[in-house]
């Protein structure tokens, strides 16, 4: 396994875990599973624990179904895309296009009145 392949797998696992922990798509089933008695309920809440098991599941899946690598690349691309979006959101000028009118006005008002901590 090369270093670049390892990085792609790490990005894929990272995105899959975040998708599970923070997306609305899995909210109902996540809530149900997190209420299970410990240690199972805790497993579905803990980022580090979940990362370990998702990594193992990913490696087993790739070993059993080598064609599933497409899903891994899709997850890795999604993670890189969110990182790029995050970086661009923090360097983009709010006076330019890209923000909705409400967001831009709220930011400019907060900046004018010195209360823009949430936008830093």
d(CA 63, CA 66): 6
pTM summary value: 0.64
d(CA 43, CA 33): 9
Residue-range domain boundaries for the chain = 3-114
Compute the chain's Rg from CA coordinates.
19
The tens digit of pLDDT for each residue in 14-73 reads 888 888 888 888 888 888 888 888 888 888 888 888 888 889 988 898 889 888 888 888
């Amino acid at each position: 396994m090369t270093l670049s392949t390892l990085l792609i797998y790490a990005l894929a696992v990272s995105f899959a875990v975040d998708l599970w922990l923070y997306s609305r798509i899995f909210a109902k089933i996540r809530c149900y599973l997190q209420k299970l008695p410990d240690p199972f309920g805790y497993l579905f809440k803990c980022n580090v624990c979940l990362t370990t098991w998702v990594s193992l599941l990913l490696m087993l899946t790739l070993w059993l179904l080598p064609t599933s690598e497409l899903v891994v690349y899709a997850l890795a691309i999604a993670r890189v895309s969110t990182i790029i979006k995050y970086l661009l959101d923090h360097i983009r000028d709010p006076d330019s296009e890209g923000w909705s009118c409400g967001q831009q006005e709220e930011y400019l008002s907060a900046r004018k009145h010195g209360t823009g901590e949430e936008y830093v």
